[in-house]
């Protein structure tokens, strides 16, 4: 750069300084107060907390629905179970959680951009998953479900009732009676069905009065079962509602 | 005291502006006016409105100066504002959508900042001068900030709001692409026709 260029450059900068300072002095641009930025940061932090709570609530609801509907047992019954699990999975709820995770990641990245994207995303997913499982296993959702059944839950009541009333053709809940070598009767909230298990299904540990999820298609009052899952008293899903009776808190 | 210092740091000046000495903002404009213009010229390649853009950068900086933390570097902060302003300008003039998530943002390995010799810097500056246009914007920006503006990886991470590891990866890839582009230009010329030996 020769001397003339340098001189021109200096003149340009001085001109720029003059123009900017004039705009500032004439009030064309005003400095935002410190309080503005503090409130902005607080608003973002509050949004992160609220969205995280919402995501945890929805994730725990998803876990509750998977357990309560019996979908969770499907993958343990081979490829047929997996196919049904993927087919009947409440994808919309998962999509909603994914959308919340994306929004959370965008907000968190404002402060935590220095570390790789995968760290913040991993942390968000871990918090949602751990807290979701924890809340999903608590008695919160069965209690809310009960309130929703009695029309005492104004906001999310419809959501619980939707999943109570949804008809999963291949999953049947009920109580066993008339057990014999060829099968048993399953008393459900709609009507009793005659359950005929296939060759791979063992009836050894099943007794009259047991609560079970029976997996298989129903036709003419008969269910051809490819899987039966007993719902034990001490198991995680002990708080699952019995259709027509509300949550069973035994 | 900083205010009595004849040559206060940028951060000290910014603090004085925050405390109401708005005249001091003029000094910051003087210090960064030429630098931001040079950065903008390299970054945008062709822009008739560069002077207006730089003016907007300073006006935005003044408007938001209370958001600046004087414990951090003022240069990174004002370059970040400039970078956002220039990106918006590019978006306005570009028909191609900007990627929301780049795969290199997933980089996990910590970036190790090597010491670069003056000779290498000089060479890279010459390469940048001749082949900058042929580079993707994401490589162009890190190369300019590292070799031309002499920012560290961490400072570039602050300016571009991307992980430090990604800065390292883009710099490495950018250098390779720049060398390839230079070789191509040497062999075929800038218009694509093969040069006579």
Single out the residue of A240, A98, A236 nearest to residue A163, CA to CA.
A240
pLDDT at A213: 86
- Residue B74 Ramachandran class (φ > 0 left, ψ -120 to 50 alpha, else beta): alpha
Which residues from A are below 8 Å from B when comparing CB atoms? 9, 12-14, 16-17, 19-21, 23-24, 29-34, 36-37, 109-110, 113-118
How far apart, in whole angstroms, are the C-alpha atoms of residue A221 and residue A224?
10
**Who among A14, A20, A32 is closest to B55 (CB)?**
A20
B139 and B68 fall within a common domain: no
Segment B173-179 mean pLDDT: 87
CATH number at B155 reads 1.10.10.10
B75 and B106 fall within a common domain: no
Burial of A41-66, coded b for 16+ CB within 10 Å and e otherwise, reads: eeeeeeebeebbebbbbbbbbbbbbb
Is the CB of A116 less than 8 angstroms away from the CB of B59?
no
Q: Global pTM?
A: 0.76
Question: Are residues B70 and B9 in contact, defined by beta-carbon separation less than 8 angstroms?
Answer: no
Is the CB of B26 less than 8 angstroms away from the CB of A17?
yes
What angle (nearest 5°) sits at the alpha carbon of residue A94, between those of residues A88 and A100? Answer: 165
Neighboring chain B residues of A102 at a CB cutoff of 8 Å: none
B9 and B24 fall within a common domain: yes
pLDDT at B142: 93
What is chain A's percent helix, strand, coil content, to nearest 5? 55, 15, 25
**Is B104 in a helix, a strand, or coil?**
helix
Bigger pLDDT: B101 or A46? A46
Q: To 10 degrees, what angle do helices A157-165 and A34-69 make?
A: 20
**Who among B62, B67, B158 is closest to A29 (CB)?**
B62
Chain A interface, best mutation among B27, B32, B33, B65, by max A CB count within 10 A: B33
Bigger pLDDT: A52 or B4? A52
B88 and B169 fall within a common domain: no
Final residue in a domain of this structure, among B76, B96, B116: B96
Neighboring chain B residues of A114 at a CB cutoff of 8 Å: 154, 157-158, 163-164
For residue A45, what are the CA distances in angstroms to A104, A125, B123? 10, 18, 46
pLDDT band at B96 (very low <50, low <70, confident <90, very high): low
pLDDT band at A234 (very low <50, low <70, confident <90, very high): very low
What angle (nearest 5°) sits at the alpha carbon of residue B11, between those of residues B5 and B17? Answer: 85
| pLDDT tens digits for range B113-139 | 666 677 777 777 777 777 777 788 889
| Segments forming the whole domain that contains residue B156 | 101-197
B84 and B47 fall within a common domain: yes
B118 and B59 fall within a common domain: no
B84 and B166 fall within a common domain: no
Segment A82-108 mean pLDDT: 94
Shortest CA gap B36–chain A (Å): 11
Shortest CA gap A210–chain B (Å): 50
**Who among B33, B67, B105 is closest to A17 (CB)?**
B33
pLDDT at B42: 85
pLDDT at A205: 83
Shortest CA gap A94–chain B (Å): 21
Question: Are residues A159 and A61 in contact, defined by beta-carbon separation less than 8 angstroms?
Answer: yes
Is the CB of B33 less than 8 angstroms away from the CB of A12?
yes
Bigger pLDDT: A116 or A32? A32
* DSSP H or E stretch at residue A29: none
Any idea what DSSP says for residue A75? G
Residue A246 has pLDDT above 50, yes or no: no
B7 and B53 fall within a common domain: yes
Give the residues across from A228 on adjacent strands.
Answer: A214
pLDDT at A5: 58
Q: Which two tokens stand for residue A181?
A: 């070598």
* DSSP H or E stretch at residue B74: helix B74-93
CATH number at B3 reads 1.10.1740.10
B116 and B41 fall within a common domain: no
Question: Are residues B178 and B131 in contact, defined by beta-carbon separation less than 8 angstroms?
Answer: yes
Q: How many domains does chain B have?
A: 2
For residue B131, what are the CA distances in angstroms to B12, B84, B101, B186, B189? 38, 23, 26, 10, 11
Range ranked top by mean pLDDT from A4-8, A193-197, A198-202? A193-197
How far apart, in whole angstroms, are the C-alpha atoms of residue A195 and residue B17?
81
How far apart, in whole angstroms, are the C-alpha atoms of residue B5 and residue B17?
15
Neighboring chain B residues of A23 at a CB cutoff of 8 Å: 59
B116 and B194 fall within a common domain: yes
What angle (nearest 5°) sits at the alpha carbon of residue A202, between those of residues A198 and A206? Answer: 120
Which residues from B are below 8 Å from A when comparing CB atoms? 18, 22-23, 25-26, 29-30, 33-34, 37, 51, 54-55, 58-59, 62-67, 101, 105-108, 154, 157-158, 161-166
Q: Which two tokens stand for residue B146?
A: 């590292």
Shortest CA gap B59–chain A (Å): 7
Neighboring chain B residues of A115 at a CB cutoff of 8 Å: 163
Q: Phi and psi for A151 in degrees, rounded to 5?
A: 55, 35
pLDDT at A34: 95
Final residue in a domain of this structure, among B53, B68, B96: B96
Residue A149 has pLDDT above 60, yes or no: yes
Range ranked top by mean pLDDT from B118-127, B148-157, B180-189? B148-157
**Is A216 in a helix, a strand, or coil?**
strand
B67 and B155 fall within a common domain: no
| pLDDT tens digits for range A201-225 | 888 788 888 888 888 888 888 999 9
List, in order, residues 6 or more apart from B190 with CB less than 8 Å away. Answer: none
pLDDT at B1: 47
How far apart, in whole angstroms, are the C-alpha atoms of residue B144 and residue B127?
11
**Who among A12, A31, A110 is closest to B63 (CB)?**
A31
Is the CB of A116 less than 8 angstroms away from the CB of B105?
yes
B123 and B82 fall within a common domain: no
How far apart, in whole angstroms, are the C-alpha atoms of residue B171 and residue B143?
6
Final residue in a domain of this structure, among B96, B124, B151: B96
Is the CB of A16 less than 8 angstroms away from the CB of B29?
yes
How far apart, in whole angstroms, are the C-alpha atoms of residue B79 and residue B61?
10
């Amino acid at each position: 750069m020769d001397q003339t260029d340098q001189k021109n450059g200096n003149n340009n900068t001085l001109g720029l300084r003059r123009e900017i300072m004039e705009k500032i002095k004439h009030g064309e641009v005003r400095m935002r107060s410190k309080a503005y930025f503090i409130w902005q940061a607080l608003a973002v932090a509050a949004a992160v907390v609220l969205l995280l709570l919402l995501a945890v609530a929805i994730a725990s609801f998803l876990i509750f629905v998977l357990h309560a509907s019996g979908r969770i047992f499907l993958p343990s019954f081979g490829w047929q179970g997996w196919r049904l699990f993927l087919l009947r999975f409440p994808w919309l709820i998962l999509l909603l959680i994914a959308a919340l995770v994306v929004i959370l990641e965008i907000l968190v990245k404002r402060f935590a951009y220095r570390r790789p994207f995968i760290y913040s995303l991993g942390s968000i997913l871990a918090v949602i998953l751990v807290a979701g499982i924890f809340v999903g296993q608590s008695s919160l959702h069965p209690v809310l479900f009960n309130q929703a059944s009695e029309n005492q839950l104004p906001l999310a009541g419809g959501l619980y009732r939707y999943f109570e009333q949804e008809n999963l053709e291949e999953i049947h809940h009920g109580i066993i009676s008339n057990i014999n070598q060829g099968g048993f009767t399953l008393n459900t909230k709609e009507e009793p069905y005659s359950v005929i298990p296939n060759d791979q299904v063992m009836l050894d540990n099943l007794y009259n009065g047991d609560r079970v999820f029976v997996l298989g298609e129903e036709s003419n009052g008969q269910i051809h079962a490819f899987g039966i899952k007993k719902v034990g008293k001490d198991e995680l899903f002990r708080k699952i509602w019995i259709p027509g009776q509300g949550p069973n808190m035994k | 005291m900083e205010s009595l210092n004849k040559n206060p740091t940028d951060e000290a000046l910014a603090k004085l502006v925050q405390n109401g000495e708005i005249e001091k903002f003029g000094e910051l404009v003087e210090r960064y006016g030429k630098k931001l213009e040079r950065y903008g010229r390299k970054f945008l390649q062709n822009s008739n409105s560069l002077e207006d853009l730089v003016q907007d950068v300073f006006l935005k900086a003044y408007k938001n100066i209370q958001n600046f933390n004087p414990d951090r570097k003022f240069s990174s902060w004002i370059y970040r504002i400039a970078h956002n302003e220039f990106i918006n300008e590019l978006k306005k003039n570009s028909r191609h959508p900007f990627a929301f998530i780049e795969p290199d943002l997933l980089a996990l390995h910590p970036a190790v900042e090597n010491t670069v010799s003056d000779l290498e810097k000089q060479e890279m500056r010459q390469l940048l001068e001749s082949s900058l246009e042929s580079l993707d914007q994401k490589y162009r920006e890190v190369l300019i900030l590292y070799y031309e503006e002499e920012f560290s990886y961490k400072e570039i991470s602050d300016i571009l709001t991307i992980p430090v590891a990604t800065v390292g990866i883009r710099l490495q890839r950018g250098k390779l692409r720049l060398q390839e582009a230079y070789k191509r230009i040497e062999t075929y010329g800038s218009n694509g026709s093969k040069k006579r030996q």
